Amino acid sequence: MSADDRIDEELEALLRLDGPGPARRMGASAAASLIDGALDGWEAAPPLEAPAPTPAPATVPWAKVALVAGGVGALVGAAVVALVLLWPDAPTPGDAPPPEPPAPTAAEPTLAPTVDAPAVDDPEAEAIEEPSVETRSEPTPARPAPRPARAEDLIARGNRLRGERRWADAERSYLAASQARPRSAVSHVADVAAAGIRLDHRRDPAGAARLFRRALAARPSGPLALEAREGVARAERRRGRRAAERRALEAVIAHHGGTGAAERARTRLAELE
């Protein structure tokens, strides 16, 4: 083998993507921020219509990527775990449908919709609009109309539909539950659930922010108040409204100090400075 050949081999060995490549080393939080920005950009943009490049024969199986990815890969588990912790019934891809969310009746079984004036964290928040619940036009029934579904049943149905990843149907069911018992503990839970779907699956951060705020207005200290406040911050971030996001993060810290959410809020606030 000639000297040139040896050098070529040496260079070619470095022209690889696995292992420590030429990109500057990046910390886990910086990687997470980069990915977060990419996800925001993706959600704001429609899918590409143009065909993607013709696939080449597989060179490295995904499982190997997973192993090579190492520390960054660990973020996946953490993210999924965080998601599950944050919202216990959030669906995790590839798994069986998750358990249903806490039934509102379990938290506050008989709370009547007698709530004081709504207390909203963000004084500049947009007016809360009534959700648009799609109603199907059905022929006039010859028999007496059936009893409307109970709010709790609608939430249970929403949970089932969400487990089946039928996001639009699940959202409608939650919103119907919210309308059935407005400004109640039920609507608090239903609105947070619907907002989560709007934010994470329906690419509607503005609608999600409205619903999170409505949930807070119904029960400022409700069982999902933390999720709702953090949801407002996430939604405003997605919308690129930094001032509104900052206010939402400050509300998380003010109301839920000492929690992991407050810590995350502080970190994000520092990034916004």
Partner 1 sequence: MTGLPARSLETYVRAAVDGDRAAAQAILEGLLPRIRNLVRFLLRGDRDVDDVSQMACIEVLRSLHTWRGDASLQSWALRVAARTARRQAKKRRKEEARRGSEPPELHAVGASPDRYLESRRLARLLDELPDPQRDALVLHHVMGMSVPEVAAELDVPFETARSRLRLGMRKLRELHQRGTR
Work out the number of other CB atoms within 10 angstroms of the CB of residue 101. 24
Q: Which is nearer to partner 1, 77 or 144 (CB)?
A: 77
Indicate whether 1 belongs to the interface with partner 1 (CB under 8 A). Answer: no
CB of 116 to partner 1, least distance (A): 35
Indicate whether 41 belongs to the interface with partner 1 (CB under 8 A). Answer: yes
Interacting residue with partner 1 among 11, 96, 117, 145 (CB under 8 A) = 11
Indicate whether 23 belongs to the interface with partner 1 (CB under 8 A). Answer: yes
Q: Is 14 exposed, middle or buried (0-12, 13-18, 19+ CB in 10 A)?
A: exposed
**Residue 179: which residues within 8 A CB-CB, separation 6 or more?**
130, 131, 133, 187
Interacting residue with partner 1 among 31, 85, 106, 272 (CB under 8 A) = 31
CB of 222 to partner 1, least distance (A): 24
Interacting residue with partner 1 among 1, 2, 19, 258 (CB under 8 A) = 19
d(CA 133, CA 170): 11
Q: Say if residues 188 and 218 touch (Cβ distance below 8 Å).
A: yes
CB of 67 to partner 1, least distance (A): 7
Interacting residue with partner 1 among 1, 2, 27, 77 (CB under 8 A) = 77
Retrieve residue 73's tokens. Answer: 């890969």
Indicate whether 27 belongs to the interface with partner 1 (CB under 8 A). Answer: no
Using H for helix, E for strand and C for coil, what is the string for 84-100?
HHHCCCCCCCCCCCCCC
Amino acid code (one letter) for 77: G
Task: Please list every residue from 189 through 248 that binds partner 1, using CB under 8 A.
Answer: 200-203
Retrieve residue 7's tokens. Answer: 């050098």
Range in contact with partner 1 (rule: CB under 8 A) among 50-58, 169-177, 207-215, 239-247: 50-58
End-to-end Cα distance, the chain: 58
Indicate whether 96 belongs to the interface with partner 1 (CB under 8 A). Answer: no
Which residue carries 């579904």 as its tokens? Answer: 149
Q: Which is nearer to partner 1, 153 or 169 (CB)?
A: 169
Interacting residue with partner 1 among 1, 52, 127, 270 (CB under 8 A) = 52
